[in-house]
Amino acid sequence: MNQFSELNLGEALVKGLASIDYLEMTPIQAAALPLILAGHDVIAQARTGSGKTAAFALGLLQLLDVGSVQLQGLVLCPTRELADQVSKEIRRIARPLPNVKVLTLCGGVPLRPHLASLAHEPHIVVGTPGRILELIQKQALPLKALQMLVLDEADRMLDMGFADDIAAILKAAPRERQTLLFSATYPDAIREISKRFQRDPETITVDAEPAHSDITQQCVEVASDERKLDALIDLLVTHRPESALVFCNTRNATRDVAESLERCGFSVLALHGDLEQRERDEMLVRFANHSCTVLVATDVAARGLDIKELPLVVNFEVASDADAHTHRIGRTGRAGARGLALTLFTPREAGRINTIEASLGRSLPKVPLPRVQGKPRPLLSTHLTIAVDGGRADKLRPGDLLGALTGDAGLPADAVGKIDIFPTRSYVAIARSHADSALHRLRDGKIKGRSFRVRRIGH
């Protein structure tokens, strides 16, 4: 079975899938959907980018009684970014169904708007465990009609310390429900959650390792930890990627590496767990729109990061295990594009490389560090980001910003990059050579006939 049309799905859903070019199922969808649609609890191991969101979204929507205005589906995610992506995908697939209300509820923002939005009960809620539990405890999120509960990227939710919150939410949910657990890795803590809260689950492991043909892996030995930063710089200036994601094992290392690269003139940001939600949002926007060349991150912070074109991943520190290593390198080489994954290691870390190789069942190529002649030229981003203090709540659309920039501001269309619209803020990537002009003209002019506060983020 490989076609969505072969599944026991409603006609409207099948037509809707075809309209967004969802015809053939990915391996995780082909393995999981028949079981989900048959009502089984499922525990599925699948990496990001495997199509797992559509698998549980279709299960949720097929089960949904749109005429009953009650919460019937709940999806827990580790980060706000992933929750936003999941909500968008569910809404996209639900388009053919009338009046499906999907609500995103995550921490890092005031509680009051969430309480107001729950005055009319949604059909499906996607959110982070802390905020969901808070709303349950305030009796603002009734679970009595819940039919399906999904834990998405469960391993990272546990890594982030959400184990107690997840257990409390699962205990508060009706016993007669379907529970789906999706995880990129399968540690003992996941098995324990499954044992406690699932009923005879069907276990699926699909596509645990990215296709080797799309990703070139190389390991580069460095004499000592003190030499690693120079080695990283040599690799970056040799390959000169448009975007690179650098992984560290701790938030302190993440900060140190990013600060060192910035002192050397790189366009770099550090993504870690100590950031406010707004800072995190802006960093991810800047990296996705090419206003930042290098993003240094921990494994947990990088979850929910969905960059479709990422040519290079560098492991500044070797991952803790083979699953984490596989998940890191799977960030590159997506959608048929070629990717390069480089791992720096010292003799002290050689044992970890051996453990990863043993788990993968193959050796990883070792290559010498490239030699850089003369003073290396750092990587500057191709774009800079302009933030506008207005968004969807102000009825702003991408076309309004594009029109203001290419019309009144007189910029060439190819100088305007990716445009992201949030509820109260908007971000526009501008080619570096046109950024000052765009900023001055937007400040002096109007967008959709109105004046908004405009500022540049980063440098």
Sign of CA dihedral 262, 264, 267, 269: negative
In three-state secondary structure terms, 202 is strand
Residue pair 293/243 in contact (Cβ under 8 Å)? The answer is yes
Are 155 and 185 in contact by the 8 Å Cβ rule? The answer is yes
Instruction: Express each pLDDT in 131-172 by its tens digit.
Output: 999 999 999 999 999 999 999 988 888 877 888 999 999 999
Output DSSP code: residue 290: T
Angle between helices 163-172 and 188-197 (to 10 degrees): 10
Domains along the chain with CATH numbers: 4-205 (3.40.50.300), 215-367 (3.40.50.300), 383-457 (3.30.70.330)
pLDDT at 159: 76
CA 293, 297, 299, 304 torsion-angle sign: negative
Between the CA of residue 194 and those of 20, 75, 103, 181, 286, what are the distances in Å? 33, 16, 26, 8, 37
**Given this model, what pLDDT does residue 305 score?**
67
Res 210: pLDDT: 46
Which of 254, 261, 258, 242 lies closest to 308, judged by CA?
242
Under 8 Å CB-to-CB from 35, ≥6 apart: which residues? 42, 202, 204
Q: What was the pLDDT predicted at 375?
A: 66
Report d(CA 330, CA 237) in Å as an integer: 22
For the chain, which residues score pLDDT lower than 50?
A: 208-212
